[in-house]
Amino acid sequence: MNQSIFSLRRVLLRCAAASLLTLTAAGALAQAAWPNKPVRIVVPYGSGSSPDVIARIVAEKLSPRLGQPVLVENRPGAGGNNGTGAVAKSAGDGYTYVISTNGPLVYNTVLYDKLPYDPFTELRPVVLAGGQANVCTVRADSGINSLRELVAAMKKNPGKFNFSSTGVGSLSQLGVELLKVKTDTYAVHIPYASSPLAVLAILQGDVQFACVPAVAVLPHVKSGKLRTLAVSTAQRSPLTPDIPTMKEAGLPEIENLAWMAIMAPASTPTDIVQRMNQEINAVLAMPDVKEKLNAQYMEPIGGSPQDLQRFMQQELKVMTPVIKRTGIKVE
């Protein structure tokens, strides 16, 4: 009797082990087959925004490398929080990613009392895709020819200046908020879903100025409708060498970079994240991709997921006191 029980146990254990090996092998095969359906990159901003532009340039080259379509989906709203948060809550199956920016990935953790997702725990870094300077601009017929003149006009006409941005908590808002603090000036913030819409607000006279990505500004500068005042980076951008920095315009300690990073849901398998990182880095290194990005006044960055994680932590460390100093808080 006991011998029969032991024999049965041995048989069951062998069957269980065989089943486990089969399941493990099946899982490995499924993992090895990734991707076997389209991959989706969510852009939490409107069509024509900088993240949208870089997502479509990368997706075009990424698709043949993965052997599957790479679809770009715009989900704007709440300054980028809607689309970013939706991906943070998505299944980590390797088929959903987000290309988001400074605000939804770092700054909003300080700005919002109740952010509906945590970018540091519910998303995992894939790659820092690219960056660009914000360009401060006014209408060409505004009579304002420099950043100093803009500051003087705001001081002379308190309450009469509005500025547009790409959303609450975006660098295009915070850069101006810091400018206001440093110069003791006042202007009302009006957020929009994308940089083209923020620029359209200047053209239509709904706002008087903005500091937004160059890709949305410079076509209108060339047509004579807008005038540039300064770039937000520490040095002049090689892509816009004629535009002075804020420091050169007489406003030190106002330096920032608008960046775009590709993130995955936190539960996405490490090997898939590494594969995506390698493929996107390869795409960003392509000469024609760099040329296309440069044509949009963006520069590819790249690097490892760990590089992006360290970068985000450093951004949080640097910008938290800046945000707190401005006194901005979103309910």
Overall pTM surpassing 0.85 (yes/no): no
Residue 127 sits in the same domain as residue 143: no
Residue 125 and residue 58 share a domain: yes
Co-location of 219 and 280 in the same domain: no
What torsion do the CA atoms of 12, 17, 18, 19 make, to the nearest 10 degrees? Answer: 90
In a domain, 18, yes or no: no
Is 320 within the bounds of a domain?
yes
* Mean per-residue pLDDT over the chain, rounded: 89
pLDDT at residue 92 tops 50: yes
Task: Band the pLDDT of 24: cuts 50, 70, 90.
Answer: very low
The answer as to whether 248 is a domain residue is no
- pLDDT for position 318: 87
Within a domain: 238: no
Domain check: are 67 and 55 in the same one? yes
Band of the pLDDT at 166, cuts 50, 70, 90? confident
299, 316: one domain: yes
Residue 76 located in a structural domain: yes
Backbone torsion region of residue 42, taken as left when φ is above 0, otherwise alpha when ψ lies between -120 and 50, otherwise beta:
beta
Same-domain check for residues 139 and 126: no
Residues 126 and 142 in one domain: no
At 215, which CATH number? 3.40.190.10
Between 257 and 308, name the one with better pLDDT.
Answer: 308
Q: Are residues 142 and 167 part of one domain?
A: yes
Residue 159 within any structural domain of the chain: yes
Residue 331 has pLDDT above 80, yes or no: no
Read off the pLDDT of residues 220-279 as tens digits, 9 standing for 90 and up: 999 999 999 999 888 888 889 999 999 898 887 778 888 999 999 999 999 999 999 999
Domain range for 279 is: 39-131+259-326
Residue 16's pLDDT band, with cuts at 50, 70 and 90, is: very low
Domain tally for the chain? 2
> Do both 180 and 202 map to the same domain?
yes
Residue at 254 is within a domain: no
Q: Is residue 287 part of a domain?
A: yes
Split at pLDDT 50, 70, 90, the class of 84 is very high
Q: What is the CATH number of the domain that holds 108?
A: 3.40.190.150
224 and 140 fall within a common domain: yes
59 and 203 co-located in one domain: no
At 58-82, the pLDDT tens digits run 999 999 999 999 999 999 988 899 9
Residues 198-227: pLDDT tens digits?
999 999 999 999 999 888 899 999 999 999
Shared-domain flag, residues 96 and 183: no
